[in-house]
């Protein structure tokens, strides 16, 4: 009987998810280290080793804990950080600082000081103002700051408008107008404590096709030619951002890294040849692609409310505080009832979170077997931008995070307690 029960449970990364739910309670984030290692290996083999003069950094905003930073460090990728907090996490695990790229459209003076004092490899300057600020701080510490300019390439792309970032009307990056570029380049080249290495762009997230990266490369290589012709500036580095999509639902399929990077490299090589430019170091910054499918979230089903002829709401013990993406972006997820994995899906239900908020619906119209209170729901592909965007809304403690390697589970972030919620209350 025990074997039978086991057989019908959902196995993730070699672990019985129902057992994990029992051991650690729910809601619970479960991450597969094997999956993360596989993605890093793919990047190394099909990008870093295939092409000389390349660099890959993990966009840590997707999911960051000390253990995640250790894994990325061990796997040999660099890391993109966008805040003092992300940088602090990297510092705390002795992450090689020259492999850090520091982003942000409004880095504070304190954050920039922290970055420069700790010798981060590159600071991506997001606006003209920041050039002088970074130079001043570098001067204060008697250092030379290596910078890239984030350029907003002026592309409107097909993804949810909240995760588009490369369009003209964007808070990110230096706009691609001749006057602005001229001002930025001249200013940076005149600063004693700055070394301008090149340019960065990031056009958006959850992109399933490579055409937008190619379009952006055309724009950026053209810019490289212009700044060489006009100001004699040679671009040493071109950072092409992240944005590679993953599998959330049936019609979204994750593509190989080479689907994106081969296209990027081919386009860069072609344009550099045409323009008589030496090919710069090419950087990629995938976040979601490395961790998105590595994670699932386990919940316990509680209240079930059937409105005859209309809808059945199945409520879980988490929701928008641990996964704000459905309410923010209308993001879609797949899920399974972990303890009934082999049972036929005969019902269509709506998975509701437990917050006092009508928008707290995790999944509309999910096909499930007959469900009852106490069943375990596993929501898939929650590894990116779930834990990192989680909140304590309604004073719900954040779930624990468990990492799995070779079928063995270990706790990497403890579940928050009520005491944790009050820690800073005065």
Is 80 a binding residue for ligand LLP by CB under 6 A? The answer is yes
18, 40, 43, 62: which one binds ligand LLP (CB under 6 A): 62
Is 280 a binding residue for ligand LLP by CB under 6 A? The answer is no
Is 318 a binding residue for ligand LLP by CB under 6 A? The answer is no
Is 325 a binding residue for ligand LLP by CB under 6 A? The answer is yes
| Neighbour-count burial for 204-233, b at 16+ CB within 10 Å, e otherwise | bbbbbebebbebbbebbbebbbbbbeeeeb
103, 107, 122, 213: which one binds ligand LLP (CB under 6 A): 103
CA triple 121-217-383, angle to 5 deg: 60
- Residue 276: DSSP 8-state: T
Stretch binding ligand LLP (CB under 6 A), from 184-192, 202-210, 219-227, 272-280: 202-210
- Count how many Cα atoms sit within 13 Å of the Cα of residue 239 in the half-sphere of its side chain: 33
Is 237 a binding residue for ligand LLP by CB under 6 A? The answer is no
Choose the catalytic residue: 15, 272, 355, 356. Answer: 356
Stretch binding ligand LLP (CB under 6 A), from 2-10, 216-224, 237-245, 275-283: 237-245
For 300-364, what is the HEC assignment? EEEEEEEECCCEEEEEECCCCCCCCHHHHHCCCCCEEEHHHCCCCCCEEEEEECCCCCCCCEEEE
Shortest approach of ligand LLP to residue 159 CB, angstroms?
A: 9
First to last CA, the chain: 53
Is 27 a binding residue for ligand LLP by CB under 6 A? The answer is no
The residue with tokens 């399974």 is: 336
Shortest approach of ligand LLP to residue 206 CB, angstroms?
A: 6
Helix (H) or strand (E) holding 367, with range, is: strand 361-368
Stretch binding ligand LLP (CB under 6 A), from 83-91, 281-289, 354-362, 418-426: 281-289
Give the residue from 377, 372, 363, 181 showing the smallest Cα distance to 296: 377
Return the residues of window 132-161 that contact ligand LLP according to CB under 6 A: none
Asked about 40 being catalytic, the answer comes back as no
Is 322 a binding residue for ligand LLP by CB under 6 A? The answer is no
The residue with tokens 């437990």 is: 354
Q: Is 301 exposed, middle or buried (0-12, 13-18, 19+ CB in 10 A)?
A: buried
Is 242 a binding residue for ligand LLP by CB under 6 A? The answer is yes
DSSP tally for the chain: helices H, then strands E = 13, 20
Is 288 a binding residue for ligand LLP by CB under 6 A? The answer is yes
205, 212, 297, 339: which one binds ligand LLP (CB under 6 A): 205
Positions touching ligand LLP (CB under 6 A) are 59, 62, 80, 103, 163, 165, 202, 205-206, 241-244, 285-289, 325, 329, 384-385, 389
Q: So which residues are the catalytic ones?
A: 356
């Amino acid at each position: 009987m025990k074997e039978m029960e086991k057989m019908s449970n959902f196995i993730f990364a070699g672990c019985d998810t129902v057992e994990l739910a029992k051991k650690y309670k729910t809601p619970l984030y479960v991450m597969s280290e094997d999956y993360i290692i596989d993605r890093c290996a793919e990047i190394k083999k099909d990008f870093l080793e295939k092409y000389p003069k390349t660099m890959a950094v993990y966009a840590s905003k997707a999911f960051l804990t000390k253990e995640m930073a250790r894994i990325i460090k061990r796997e040999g990728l660099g890391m993109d950080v966008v805040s003092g907090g992300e940088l602090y996490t990297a510092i705390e695990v002795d992450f090689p600082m020259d492999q850090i790229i520091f982003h942000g459209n409004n880095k504070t003076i304190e954050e920039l000081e922290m970055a420069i004092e700790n010798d981060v490899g590159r600071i991506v300057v997001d606006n003209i103002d920041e050039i002088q600020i970074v130079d001043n701080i570098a001067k204060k510490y008697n250092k030379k700051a290596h910078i890239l300019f984030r350029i907003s390439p002026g592309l409107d792309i097909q993804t949810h408008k909240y995760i588009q970032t490369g369009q003209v009307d964007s808070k990110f990056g230096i706009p691609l107008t001749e006057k602005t570029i001229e001002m930025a380049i001249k200013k940076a080249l005149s600063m004693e404590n700055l070394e301008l290495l090149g340019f960065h762009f990031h056009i958006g997230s959850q992109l399933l096709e490579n055409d937008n990266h190619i379009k952006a490369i055309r724009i950026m290589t053209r810019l490289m030619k212009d700044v060489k012709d006009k100001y004699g500036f040679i671009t040493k580095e071109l950072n092409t951002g992240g944005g590679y999509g993953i599998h959330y639902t049936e019609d979204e399929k994750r593509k190989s890294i080479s689907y994106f990077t081969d296209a990027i490299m081919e386009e860069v090589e072609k344009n550099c040849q045409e323009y008589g430019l030496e090919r710069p170091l090419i950087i990629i910054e995938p976040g979601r692609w490395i961790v998105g499918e590595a994670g699932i979230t386990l919940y316990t089903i509680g209240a079930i409310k059937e409105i005859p002829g209309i809808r059945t709401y199945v409520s879980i013990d988490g929701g928008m505080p641990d996964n704000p993406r459905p309410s923010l972006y209308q993001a879609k997820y797949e899920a399974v009832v972990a303890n009934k994995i082999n049972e036929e899906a005969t019902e269509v239900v709506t998975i509701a979170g437990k917050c006092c908020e009508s928008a707290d619906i995790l999944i509309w119209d999910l096909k499930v077997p007959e469900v009852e209170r106490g069943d375990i729901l596993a929501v898939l592909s929650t590894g990116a931008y779930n834990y990192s965007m989680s909140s304590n809304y309604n004073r719900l403690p954040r779930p624990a995070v468990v990492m799995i390697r070779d079928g063995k589970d270990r706790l990497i972030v403890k579940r928050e307690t009520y005491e944790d919620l009050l820690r800073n209350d005065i």
